[in-house]
Chain A
């Protein structure tokens, strides 16, 4: 275990400190995974990233976890740095941590910065142990030219939507988590969640809701919604007023026909039927 002085004026001195101490321990932990204990210190995301880089590049040490007070670390760190966070409530100097992994402790000074203005993403984390959505990138073979903008308008009667049949894409297991959002999402807001998503509010044009499961908007959906974002095309998108700029379910993309606001308002559901995203009136008995 390596201890670093509590008060270090800047990143340069922190780095110097690590460089001075690490060589003595490299024999023991070089090439292995460690966890980092920030104890009571605050570190800015940028410096934390530099520390991780330094350890990886110069000492071949991979940091996989981080002990920190919940308030002292930026809430996006977990996803950004692909680290596991271990909330530490105590604020004294760290105790020796014994785990299956070896450990080392680092610390840094500086104030925590809330970059939230820079990164407008709403992270629903905090209360719920969210796992980072690494696989949430769109397939690379989609082009806007492939977009089918001739989505059929609401069908007169409720069609049978296939229930969760295990296809080529991984079907969601029962008991997935649900995230509830109690606000209107405005242009530029993004919500990503591994599970089902409920929005009590509107999703305005320019906002995005992305979920690996189903998306339900108890309001008007006018932005972009992507359900089954990890590839599950049995997911659906449901909204009281479904007028999105674009809909995506799994790998399918659709642009619903333009509709006037207020005209014939009723809940609608979008799902993949016969390899195509179809909108239909929601009558409460989807099976």
Chain B
């Protein structure tokens, strides 16, 4: 039974596109057939993050307006079996698509994919409404910042008002050393406010920037801490119960984290 997951946040710049790309690539690595849809019409990015920008011929708006068939617009990722991208149009805007169109599109995609991942644009307007229309469940991305959490809270309310099941939370850009100093909100503070199940924590790490610049999702990187974090998220999305690593008990992982942080007190709990 295919499932459509929308990745949303309310606030911009918290990592929706990166999360979408890595979640989609991770699911494909796990052997699923995945279509990821860039719903950010007019400000498309997912194609760049996935490194597929130069292969775009047709886009989502052209599919919806009947200029081409859905199959033609889907770009197959050559690095991993089963990963497809439906790019957004760059020369149009959100008003070019209506929620009913998205619903129809998602239903078509669900026919021959196991997962449909929708990369939602920032905001709560048309783009958000389009993205949420065909979704079966939502994943909320936030960073440990008051403003991002405020927006996430608002989005959770909107998602629930759309009769979707309780959304899941990913905390992005987590910096354990700042948390241990008390300079950053910790996981429990965030969960206390948002009160939805946590399915992933992604540390702030240069690997993300490098992978974005290369157009190679970090989830492909076997040795990256962030890649591992995304692989765990992928598993949890598929319903596999993966324990949250106790970073303290895993010196290997910590060593990695410390290397980029320069130094880190050993007592941080994530």
Contact = CB atoms under 8 A, between A and B. Distances in A.
Interface of A: 118-121, 137-138, 140, 142-145, 147, 149, 187-190, 205-206, 208, 245-246, 253, 255
B18 to A, nearest CB: 19
Contacts of B54: 149, 245-246, 255
Contact of B71 (A119, A143, A205): A143
A121 B91 contact: yes
B67 interface: yes
A190 B93 CA distance: 13
B55 A255 contact: yes
B137 to A, nearest CB: 29
A260 to B, nearest CB: 13
Interface string B52-83: 01111110000000011101101110000000
Given A140-B69, A140-B72, A188-B42, A147 B55 contact: yes
B95 interface: yes
B48 to A, nearest CB: 8
B147 interface: no
Nearest to A254: B54
B256 interface: no
Nearest to A117: B93
A143 B93 contact: no
A180 B68 CA distance: 31
A147 B56 CA distance: 10
Nearest to A147: B55
A118 B93 contact: yes
Given A137-B67, A143-B71, A145-B76, A208 B56 contact: no
Contacts of B91: 120-121, 188-190, 208
Chain B contact residues (Cβ within 8 angstroms of A): what range?
20 to 34
B90 interface: yes
A253 B55 CA distance: 9
A144 B68 contact: no
B67 A144 contact: no
Given A137-B67, A143-B71, A188 B57 contact: no
Nearest to B85: A144
A119 B56 CA distance: 20
20 contacts: A118-B93, A120-B93, A140-B72, A142-B57, A143-B71, A144-B55, A144-B56, A144-B74, A147-B57, A187-B90, A188-B42, A188-B91, A189-B91, A190-B91, A206-B90, A245-B53, A245-B56, A246-B55, A246-B56, A246-B57
Interface in B196-254: none
Contact of B95 (A118, A206, A208, A246): A118
A144 B71 CA distance: 10
* Most A C-beta atoms less than 10 A away, residue of B53, B54, B58, B75: B54
A144 B90 contact: no
Contacts of A121: 91
A117 to B, nearest CB: 9
Contacts of B58: 138
A49 to B, nearest CB: 15
Given A143-B71, A145-B76, A188 B90 contact: yes
A188 B57 CA distance: 15
Contacts of B93: 118, 120
Contacts of B92: 119
Nearest to A121: B91
Contact of B72 (A119, A142, A149, A189): A142
Contacts of B56: 144, 245-246
Contacts of B57: 138, 142-144, 147, 246, 253
